[in-house]
């Protein structure tokens, strides 16, 4: 059986951290900057960064519609922080010229936890993972509405944001408000790779 190859969207944001995590897991990967880079991948990671900038670069680079098409076509996709914002079909507190990939039937509030000075860490219980997962939130969004086909995987356990939804899944699309790629804990990525393994052969 052919080993999976994961694409990492590399127009802006924290690409290197996801590359290091996949290297740690021994998974082949490539940066996705142009349309041809989508060919031959079995899954795609949308990293953290600045979501409005990323969406404008996707449009300028001709990747916006092709990404919407491969996501609608069931390609497994995992978005962290800004990646979650891009995947949502509705975003609050964003710029009017921002674009969405419509991969998740959710409403996300951008920068819901505050600015960078309000970044924090927490231990989260995540559906499908046995032990609590360390989570780093950096100017993170949260989910304010989930559609009927969306599964809530994790919520903030305590503090002012207790109960906020911070991890969701809809079919082959996974998203987290937090950044597992900066903690050294590979379990969220391994969970995503399990979705890739169950999916259809590469494009």
Strand-pairing partners, residue 7, are: 30, 44
Cα-flanking dihedrals φ and ψ of residue 189, to 5°?
-65, -40
Annotated catalytic, 179?
Answer: yes
Which one from 18, 19, 99, 181 is the annotated catalytic residue?
181
Is 129 in contact with 191 (CB distance < 8 Å)?
A: yes
Sign of CA dihedral 176, 179, 185, 189: positive
Number of neighbouring beta carbons within 10 Å of residue 197:
12
d(CA 94, CA 79): 17
Residue labelled with tokens 């505050």:
114
Which one from 19, 81, 99, 189 is the annotated catalytic residue?
81
Note the residue count of the chain.
Answer: 203
Annotated catalytic, 131?
Answer: no
Annotated catalytic, 181?
Answer: yes
Q: Which residues belong to the active site?
A: 81, 179, 181
């Amino acid at each position: 059986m052919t080993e999976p190859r994961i694409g990492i969207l590399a127009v802006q944001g924290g690409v290197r951290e996801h590359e290091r995590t996949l290297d740690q897991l021994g998974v082949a990967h490539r940066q996705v900057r142009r349309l041809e880079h989508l060919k031959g991948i079995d899954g795609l990671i949308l990293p953290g960064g600045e979501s409005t900038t990323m969406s404008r670069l996707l449009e300028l680079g001709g990747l916006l519609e092709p990404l919407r098409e491969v996501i609608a076509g069931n390609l497994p996709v995992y978005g962290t922080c800004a990646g979650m914002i891009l995947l949502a079909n509705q975003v609050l507190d964003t710029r009017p010229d921002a674009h969405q990939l419509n991969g998740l039937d959710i409403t996300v509030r951008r920068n819901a936890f505050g600015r960078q000075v309000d970044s924090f860490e927490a231990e989260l219980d995540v559906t499908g993972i046995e032990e609590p997962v360390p989570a780093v939130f950096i100017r993170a969004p949260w989910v304010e509405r989930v559609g009927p086909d969306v599964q809530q995987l994790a919520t903030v356990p305590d503090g002012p944001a207790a109960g906020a939804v911070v991890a969701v899944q809809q079919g082959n699309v996974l998203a987290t408000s937090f950044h597992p790629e900066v903690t050294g804990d590979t379990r969220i990525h391994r969970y995503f790779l399990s979705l890739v393994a169950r999916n259809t052969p590469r494009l």
